[in-house]
Structure 1
Amino acid sequence: MDNMNKPIYLDNAASTPLLDEVTTEILPYLKWLYGNPSSLHRLGRESFQAVEKARSRVASLIGAKKKEIVFTSGGTEANNLAIKGISSRLKRLDPKRNCVIASSIEHESVLGAVRDLEENGFNVLLVPTTINGRIEPENLKKTIPSDGVALVSIMLSNNEVGTIQPVKELAAITHQYGGLFHTDAVQAIGKIPVDVKLLDVDLLSMSSHKIHGPKGVGALYLKEGLMLDPIVSGGGQESDFRSGTENVHGIIGFAKACEITSSRLEEHRASLVALRDYLIFHVLDKIPDSRVNCSTEERIPNIAHFTFTGVQGEDLVTQLDEHGIAASTGSACSSKHQKPSHVLKAMGFSYAELTGSLRLSISILNTKGEIDRVIPILADIIAELRTHSPFDKSK
């Protein structure tokens, strides 16, 4: 397939392709080193040792200790384990510790977890956001009740518009009020430096397939000394925090992706910033009545989120797909259900702005040549859609 007909993938915030080095690392554990890490024979011991080595590599990426990493099936399970596991344990030890706080723009896996807690008697509160998707420390202070909080969960960077949150300040405020702090760092890992000690967080969620690793594996950083109630019971793997046979080849691939990310972070970040800014400039230059959302510098380098007046985002995604261009309106978990983004709604977007938005997310594998191919196609599609728009563009 020549480059002009090759599909263009601009949905890397949803998932990323495997790097060749990751595929190479995984292959032996799919074909030959297939032992169960809990088995006592040689193949089992080799798998166990590989998982433990991988644990160290994952920990190294975020400045954690090996024993502070709990492997999960992905970011969603890591978020649920952190929020439900810590909250239920704290309340069991002290029934008065039943307040849990999240932001209004969290990923659905966080919001779903806190809704489950609310149904089980927890006092759940949401911190509002600014128009740029930032959670201000003062707003967190105003949200925390006078008698304190058990857990605060605020993402490190938003998965739709890319805003980086002031997590260090938010964690400090939470600790002042006697609470623990969890951050969903799924979108931030591999895009910006992340150090759990500098951020002073108690729990942090990660996912492999956002950093060119395999799907179906993630991790939870659990600060040394903390305990939580497991949400999956059984064989007692992962120090009794998460039972189930380890996804050995997935964990190996995740660790390799972490190693690559760690060694090339600044190089990759500079490359992503340059390509993202190139994309934004040409979209705004070539397409009238377009706007980039979250224009602050405090955002991750791989996401460009746009609003196009007079356009339905789902129609835009569908027509881009017909031209071999993969994009999205926002979170993959929400887009499939065809409902307006709760993130954009919380940021104060009108209905027309909510439905006329597009997220283009890049990776280190994208090129300027691909962006040059996308811009005229995107411009033509938007011009055509606007001729049939139900919205009054004068408003």
Structure 2
Amino acid sequence: MNQIAYLDNAATTQVDPEVLETMIPYMKECYGNPSSTYALGRDSRSAIESARKQVAEILGVKATSIYFTSGGTESNNTAIAASVNDLGCTHIITSPIEHHAVLHTVKHYAKNSKISYSFVRLNAAGDVDLDDLERQLVEYAKNGHKCLVSLMHANNEIGVMLEIESVGTIARRYGAIFHSDCVQTIGHYPINLINFGVHFASASAHKFHGPKGTGILYVSDGTKFGALLHGGGQERKKRAGTENVHGIIGFAKALKLSMENFLYDHSYIKSLNKRMRIGLKEIAKEITFNHSETSLYTVLSANFQSGSNTDLMLSLLDSKGIYASGGSACSSTEDEGSHVISALNRNLPGATIRFSFSKMTSVEDIDFAIESIKGILTPTNHALSI
């Protein structure tokens, strides 16, 4: 097997060579501990604060509102923990199609902290029913609850996007705390977090060609919260542990590059998504898609013909050098299908495969994948059926 097509960029992306080049000095010459007071440590501290300022400027917020973390999971956990433990939230409104980093954390606090939670109504496409969100906020406020609303900006499996500014407005109207998992959108869209009206937002560098193990938590000005990790006084005493200096430098560089090149990359990736969509429809008219062309442009979730099986199809794709997924990579070790598809009651008769694209995906990758899928789906190939 010589040719491969990596089409799982929603799971992770390749580190941009420019990002790696920027990181290397902080693993070699500038390796000082940022908490050390001598020059080598001060240089690391200065680099972190410069990166923080750069990230904040890109996202339209104050540098003091950006906290560096290990990634989206830690950021989501911290935001939910802070809402319950520090901000007095006693009820959480979320959705059944959130990332497990949110769903599992919400259920943990509901079990151990005597809070309650509910799911907002979704339509068949996965869009949040804003009227139902407002109805729930009114109901729980009447019953004396302070609410946390935790809804992701873009779904990582089917790409449906939240009307995030509208949710922010509704949450403010009823004094609710608003957290949004923006892992699939920060680095992929020009974003001003002030306009979103969020109290907390999460992002992860490896979703936009930065390093794994580095993320941010945005905390709006004036929002009080305690530490999730205890120990030293790093991150203004909110996140103990020696900072991942080279990762932080990589996050800032990757975000800067993504926004500098946004117009070209956005147009290019959308064209790849469209090419894949058209190519699949030409293979079989029975193939359908789980979101509209106005959804997250990096993701294409496709439903294949009746009788096909997701695990078998992924295995056949893998054998041909095509790397895609059946849903979130974070749930691949669990003995269950996509919780997103299940929550939307699709009752799909065949395989569901998520293809996701980046600036490093080529037209040749798309064409190779389409031709390979065409071969897999030929009537003489019975290996796909169950």
Shorter-chain TM-score range: over 0.9
Q: Which residue among 161, 164, 188 is the counterpart of 2:161?
A: 164
Structure 1 Cα separation of the partners of residues 242 and 380 of structure 2: 50
Q: Which residue matches 1:275?
A: 272
SS of structure 2 residue aligned to 1:285: helix
SS of structure 2 residue aligned to 1:307: strand
Residue identity opposite 1:125 in structure 2: S
Q: Which residue among 300, 304, 308 is the counterpart of 2:304?
A: 308
Q: Say yes or no: does 1:85 pair with 2:77.
A: no
Superposed counterparts of 1:179-328, under 5 Å? 179-297=176-294, 299-309=295-305, 310-328=307-325
Runs of 4+ residues deviating >6 angstroms: none
Q: Percent identity?
A: 36
Q: Which residue matches 1:371?
A: 366
Maintained 8 Å contact 2:376/2:384: no
Residue identity opposite 1:303 in structure 2: V
Structure 2 Cα separation of the partners of residues 113 and 60 of structure 1: 30
Maintained 8 Å contact 1:105/1:129: no
Cα shift readout 1:250-284 (whole Å, capped 9, x = no counterpart): 11111100110121112211111111111101111
Maintained 8 Å contact 1:36/1:43: yes
Structure 2 regions of 5+ residues with no counterpart? none
Residue identity opposite 1:129 in structure 2: L
SS of structure 2 residue aligned to 1:383: coil
Structure 2 Cα separation of the partners of residues 345 and 359 of structure 1: 15
Q: Which residue matches 2:123?
A: 130
Shift of 1:219: 0.3
SS of structure 2 residue aligned to 1:159: coil
Structure 1 Cα separation of the partners of residues 380 and 209 of structure 2: 34
After superposition, the Cα gap between the structure-2 partners of 1:390 and 1:11, relative to the gap in structure 1 and judged at 3 Å, is closer
Structure 1 Cα separation of the partners of residues 335 and 282 of structure 2: 30
Maintained 8 Å contact 1:311/1:386: no
Provide TM-score, normalisation by structure 1.
0.93
Q: Which residue among 117, 123, 133 is the counterpart of 2:109?
A: 117
Q: Which residue matches 1:94?
A: none
Structure 2 Cα separation of the partners of residues 351 and 307 of structure 1: 7
Q: Which residue matches 2:26?
A: 29
Q: Which residue matches 1:382?
A: 377
Provide TM-score, normalisation by structure 2.
0.95
Structure 2 Cα separation of the partners of residues 163 and 89 of structure 1: 31
Cα shift readout 1:207-253 (whole Å, capped 9, x = no counterpart): 00000000001000000111112111010211111111100011111
Q: Which residue matches 1:61?
A: 58
Considering only aligned residues, what root-mean-square deviation do their CA atoms show, in Å? 1.6
Structure 1 Cα separation of the partners of residues 278 and 186 of structure 2: 26
Shift of 1:149: 3.4
Cα shift readout 1:72-108 (whole Å, capped 9, x = no counterpart): 00000000001112221122xxxxx411111111000
Maintained 8 Å contact 1:75/1:205: yes
